[in-house]
Structure formats: C-alpha cells, structure tokens
Structure 1
C-alpha cells in the first residue's frame, strides 16, 4: 500500500489493491482533489481513519441515455411533486448528506474537513448541488464534482427526508446533464439502488478513457 507524503503525486491507479484502495495519506487540498477527480480517484474515509484514496475496478457509472424511470416516478415528475433547484444551497445539501445515518455505517465519511474543501470547490464552480424542495422545506438533494470540460459528472452523496425526494432530484439532474451533453455520471461503486436507475459497471480503463481528453 502506498503512503502519500505531503504534495507527493499519486501512484498509477493500476497499483490499487483488490478493493480499489490506491493510497493512504497526503493532504485534502483543492489542487489534490481537482487532480484526483480528473484522474478517476476519489477520497472516501471516516473520521476514525486516515485519508483514503480510491479508484475501483470495475467502476459504477450511468450513461444518461440509459436512465430508468419507474412509472410511479414518472407520475410524480408529471405532477411536479417537488421543486428542484441547482446550486442554491450547497452547504445545506452537503451537511444534510453528512448527517444522514446509513445502514451498515457507524459514522459519516463526510468530515468537517471534507465539507470545507468541497465548499471551496463549489466556490470555484467545480462542486455542484441539487436541492429538492417541498414547499419551503429542503427534503432531499445531492452533490458532486462536475468535470464540465470532459462532460463527466462525479456523484458523491445524496440524502432524503421525504419519500422519493432524492430520486426525484437525481432524475432531474440526469435529464439536465443529458441536455448539456454529459457523457457519463460516475457513481463510483455498485449499489442495487443505482442499478435500478440504469447504472452499470464498466472497467476502470474504459472509465478513464472518458477523462483522458476534453469533450
């Protein structure tokens, strides 16, 4: 396993272990995060762990054209059950994602340092948020890194406080990104929920090919 020193470059992603763990340590800085996402690497750890960097193989992605929308979700969208905004309250979204307790997890991987760094990325128009509202209440949302020059969106986390709210926001985002010519949405690792929305696993090499050159 590679232990990064301050400002040390990442090793090749081919050096990951069988779980996709690439390196430990280094610093959570804006330049490192920008480099990481542009090279298929992302941080994922909790407050009890050192900084962990991942690049799994295979990679879970969603091609916008393959988005699956259930009949029940189509009805909610037609009825405009929720209001969806973009980048209206990034901080509220990432803090809500950090607060949500998830099955099988004893803590959050979205540490205060992560919140602050991604907030800085939002100020640079790199980290984007989706807010889902019911009346004036924030009931769902998600955030991620938008590599606009490569037409790739890297989804990070979502939350919901009302049934179907996060899914409603995700579908709305995918439709928006499709209109903007986004080629794929990085979902990082497999979940049954993502598969139900049309996401699939591809090889890391295929995923990285989308990051090699601007669209």
Structure 2
C-alpha cells in the first residue's frame, strides 16, 4: 500500500496529496497514516477528504470519484412515509446527546460488517472532540424521552458532511435526515454530503456528483458563515409530523 498511495506526515498540519492522485481501485483511496486530530480532520473535510478504516488498519483517507450529495430541498419521502408522519408523535432535536448517537451508529449491526465497525473507538473520541469544539453535530429523534434514531456529521462552512445514521425504530434515521435537510434549507445551506451512494440514500433522492463538481461546490460553501457551536437552540424541537408537509416558502 505504501508504494501506491502517500503516507501522511506526523504533523497534523501537513498537506494532503492532491485528490487527483486518489486510486481508482479501490475508488478514492488517497493516503494512509497520520492521526485523527481536529486540525487534520478539518483540513481533510475542507478538501473533500474523509477517513474510513477498520480497527486493525492505520487511518485511511478517501476522496471517491463520485460523491453522494443531497440537495436540502430534495429529500424524497414516499407517500406512505408521509401518511405515517402525519400521525407521528416523534420529535427531532440537535446536539443534546452526541456521544450516544455516534456510539449507537458504531454498534448498529450492518450487512457485511461481520460484527466489526469502521467507527472505531479512536473515531468516536475524535468526533466527540470535534463536537466539543462546535464542528460536529448530531440530529436526534425522540419518542418521548427515548432516543430512537439519529445521525451525525460535520459543518464545514455551509456544507454539512454526513458521517453515519442509525434507527432503533423503523424510519427514525430517515426522519433525522429529512429534519436536518428542512432546517438547513431554512438556514440557506444547499447541500448535504453523504460520501458514497447506496440503495437506501438513492431511494431518498441522493445524487452522484463527479468529484470535480462536488469540490467546486465545497470550495464555495466552506468559506461561508454558518451556525457555530451547539445547534440545540438554533435547531429547536421539530415535530416529525411537520415533515409530512412541504416546507413553507
């Protein structure tokens, strides 16, 4: 591996190689090594790079040739889901239990994981620190006081870079995504990065953008002023039933 991709310097501020050097097989693998310090992680996301690796691997850094992107006004909910939402008593909040959300994402069984997870203990602590610094956020779905689903990711200017989501109740992660998109659209944030498309995100309206197109959008959005620190107050409490209806103009 070290002969084909760059090894990162120990200095957290050391530059990443150009994303044009990423491999095509596996698609997007760019570099290995380094650490998960806030400085390095933020530098990575600002350049369209993210970490993804298993417990027994060094940090691996990726920038795939096709990027999964949601428009915040383009989340697609089925007619059946909207009917269910009209009667829903669930509510959505932000940043009230970040560690619980990321740990739930880490431990949720997923097809092909064989009991493992790419959200390692080191990853959990790294993103908890980014949350403490006001860069990482969780969107949380509650049934009464019971957390039943959510997602987490990073705010890079006015781009939200989604990392993972989970459901302990059917459809809860979709509610978290739709609520996030609703709130971001109201704030003037146009896009949510979902990294790599899959069948579930395609069903919700994700688009696969060429890397260059994504990077152009990121370059524009990453410098724009955004909500910093905790989102709890700014996000508020959103009834899931609100998502059954189109947003107000």
2:121 is aligned to 112
1:67-115 per-residue CA deviation (whole Å, 9 max, x = no partner) reads 1111122123322331111111001000100111100112111111111
- 5+ residue gaps, structure 2, are 225-249
1:16 is aligned to 22
**Aligned residue among 96, 99, 105 for 2:107:** 99
2:10 is the alignment partner of 1:6: yes
2:181 is the alignment partner of 1:177: no
1:55 is aligned to 63
2:117 is the alignment partner of 1:87: no
1:142-194 per-residue CA deviation (whole Å, 9 max, x = no partner) reads 000011x3x11000001111111111111111111111111211010010110
The TM-score normalised by the length of structure 2 is 0.83
Counterpart contact for 2:73–2:181, Cα < 8 Å: no
1:17-72 per-residue CA deviation (whole Å, 9 max, x = no partner) reads 01100101111111000101111000001102111000001111011122111112
1:125 is aligned to 134
Report which stretch shifted further, 12-21 or 66-75. 66-75
Aligned partners of 2:7 and 2:184: how far apart in 1? 36
**Aligned residue among 193, 199, 206 for 1:186:** 193
Number of residue-to-residue matches in the alignment: 213
Aligned partners of 2:9 and 2:210: how far apart in 1? 29
- 5+ residue gaps, structure 1, are none
Structure (1 or 2) with the larger CA radius of gyration? 2
Aligned partners of 2:96 and 2:56: how far apart in 1? 31
